[in-house]
Amino acid sequence: MSKENDEHILYSNFTFLYELVFKPFFFPAIKKTMDLIKEEQPQKILEVGIGTGYSLEHYPSGVHVTGVDISNKMVEVSKKKTLDIVDKDFEILQTDGENLPFNENSFDLVVSFSVITVVNSPQDFLNQIRKVLKPNQKAVLIMHSRSSGFLGLIDRFWELPCKFLFGFTLLRHIEDLNLDGWQVLNHKVASTILGYPYNHQIVLKKV
């Protein structure tokens, strides 16, 4: 699927429905990541693929969050949300996570929630995150990770409808990627439905 389709059809045109459909599924893993961020106390955070920006109010007070998304509509909705949040600084930009316009070693933490399963090249996406992250700092990714055994059959059954309706794949796994320059600190299931692990939290450190 081309980026233009990702932007205009799937996400831009359905911005108004997005939170209603996805937030109940995605927020539990985001909440767990916010708890981790509170422990780490980073100052400059980048969130790649902010969507409608419902995560933004949950960052700890006093941080500077740069939020980016490829969809202009998502960026507009997120920007509006930031107007009501006064205890942290935001910069919200329309940009491609596979080609981030920031200097190397710019951020103390990079997070991305349910985006790596949507982008055209997960490897380019991860490489860009590594580029802009400061050395020895962390990236936290929330993603659906392909399962094995019976749960893997469920992934394969839902793959086509998910790809068609939502533009994301259920078949990616962090271990498919070249993780040179990263240390995997943690990889755990972050949220389930009836035992089916639909989101994982992966904590990587740039080494």
Ligand X SMILES: C[S@@+](CC[C@H](N)C(=O)[O-])C[C@H]1O[C@@H](n2cnc3c(N)ncnc32)[C@H](O)[C@@H]1O
Question: Where does this chain bind ligand X (CB under 6 A)?
Answer: 6, 11, 22, 26, 48-51, 68-71, 74, 96-98, 113-115, 118-119, 168
Query: Please, what is the minimum distance in Å from the beta carbon of residue 61 to ligand X?
Result: 21
If the CB atoms of residues 63 and 96 are measured against ligand X, the closer one turns out to be 96
Of the candidates 89, 96, 58, the one whose C-alpha atom is nearest the C-alpha of residue 75 is 96
Distances in whole angstroms, Cα of residue 95 to Cα of each of 3, 69, 75: 11, 6, 9
If the CB atoms of residues 136 and 193 are measured against ligand X, the closer one turns out to be 193
DSSP state of 114: S
Query: Please, what is the minimum distance in Å from the beta carbon of residue 140 to ligand X?
Result: 12
If the CB atoms of residues 42 and 49 are measured against ligand X, the closer one turns out to be 49
If the CB atoms of residues 108 and 124 are measured against ligand X, the closer one turns out to be 124
Per DSSP, the three-state class of 1 is: coil
Query: Please, what is the minimum distance in Å from the beta carbon of residue 149 to ligand X?
Result: 26
* 183-194 core/surface letters (b: 16 or more CB in 10 A; e: else): eeeeeeebbeee
Of the candidates 112, 103, 94, the one whose C-alpha atom is nearest the C-alpha of residue 45 is 112
Question: Looking at beta carbons, which residue is closest to ligand X?
Answer: 51
Query: Please, what is the minimum distance in Å from the beta carbon of residue 96 to ligand X?
Result: 5
If the CB atoms of residues 55 and 183 are measured against ligand X, the closer one turns out to be 55
Query: Please, what is the minimum distance in Å from the beta carbon of residue 163 to ligand X?
Result: 12
Instruction: Decide: 50 and 74 in contact? Cβ < 8 Å.
Output: yes
Burial class (CB in 10 A: 0-12, 13-18, 19+), 102: middle
Query: Please, what is the minimum distance in Å from the beta carbon of residue 136 to ligand X?
Result: 25
Burial class (CB in 10 A: 0-12, 13-18, 19+), 112: buried
If the CB atoms of residues 6 and 155 are measured against ligand X, the closer one turns out to be 6
Q: What is the DSSP string of 3-46?
A: HHHIIIIIIITTHHHHHHHHHHHHHHHHHHHHHHHHHH--SEEE
